[in-house]
Amino acid sequence: MTTDKWTQWLLTRRDGDSKDLRARQTSGLEFFRDGVLDRAGLKPDDVLLDVGCGTGLIGFGALERLGPDGRVIFSDVSQHLLDHCRRTAGGDKRCSFVQASAEDLAGIADASVDIVTTRSVLIYSDRKATAFAQFSRVLRPGGRLSLFEPINRFPLQHRPDDLFGLGSSPVDDLLAKVRDVYRGHTEEAERPMVDFDERDLIAWAAAAGFEAVELDYRAQLDVPAEPITDWETLKRVAPNPLVPTYGEAIAAALTDEERDRLDAHMTFLTAAETPTRRTMATAFLRALRP
């Protein structure tokens, strides 16, 4: 069955369709899920709208915290992902499903939900301020907004040339060619991912009329991180839904001889369990609708 780019990425291209890598990613995803839900202040009978629900990370986590009278509305632009969530829900009557974008929640009535959540969704939006206005519209007075976003502008500013967290390496010339594939062919597609920072999130929330806006920001620069454990799997990974996998970019950028040299070096690093470096920034935001 043909699926859209969002479904393909979440189900296979995010982790190279590797069970091992998927399992290692789980703890990080659960941290983000719990951060969003902890800040949402769930009550047993709340109606929660999860915007950009994906495979249901936030929504199903909320169901575990809600009582029998609580409900979760799963919303996404992808019908395939909504179908995936529907199958996971298995007939749970507390679940409903609405196909909609963050910027146009037309299927959700005014002042009809208690909580709006979203995780790593605004980074793909060209109309982030409009999305905040929609969140405010669907929330009841006193309703809560809780969201998480990576701040991709931070690594772009501080480590724009560091592809795999390797620092300086003997294959810098090859990695530069691979980076150029992403820059040359995906720059416009990725622009919404880097055209904002944590201060913009606060400003958009305030402009949409939210009160008690709180933002928890964390930045990491050159923090020691886990080594690359499987180079062949990593080549099947796409860093986001809008771009080629690393393997596809390598194939487009390098000659056969260059690919062999890169493979040899990366395989050596993997075998040696060479640590990488993490440079990233993240933001959790919560706010109240008056």
How many Cβ atoms from other residues are within 10 Å of residue 1's Cβ? Answer: 4
Express each pLDDT in 154-197 by its tens digit: 999 999 988 999 988 999 999 999 999 988 766 667 789 999 99
Whole-number Cα distances in Å, 79 to 48, 60, 99, 244, 250: 19, 17, 6, 22, 32
CATH number for the domain spanning 200: value is 3.40.50.150
pLDDT of residue 122: 97
Give the pLDDT confidence of 230-266 residue by residue, as tens digits. 999 999 999 999 999 999 999 999 999 999 999 999 9
Please name which of 60, 165, 83, 70 lies closest in space to residue 113, comparing C-alpha atoms: 70
Integer Cα distance of 54 and 51 in angstroms: 9
Buried b (16+ CB within 10 A) or exposed e, 179-206: bebbeeebeeebebbbebbbebbbebbe
Which tens digit of pLDDT belongs to each residue from 111-137?
A: 999 999 999 999 999 999 999 999 999
Closest CA to 118 of 71, 67, 62: 62
Measured CA to CA, the distance from residue 7 to residue 23 in angstroms comes to: 18
pLDDT of 186: 60
- The residue range of the domain holding 109 is 5-288
What is the per-residue pLDDT for 167?
Answer: 87
Q: Which tens digit of pLDDT belongs to each residue from 147-160? A: 999 999 999 999 99
Domains in the chain: how many in total?
1
**What pLDDT was estimated at residue 208?**
98
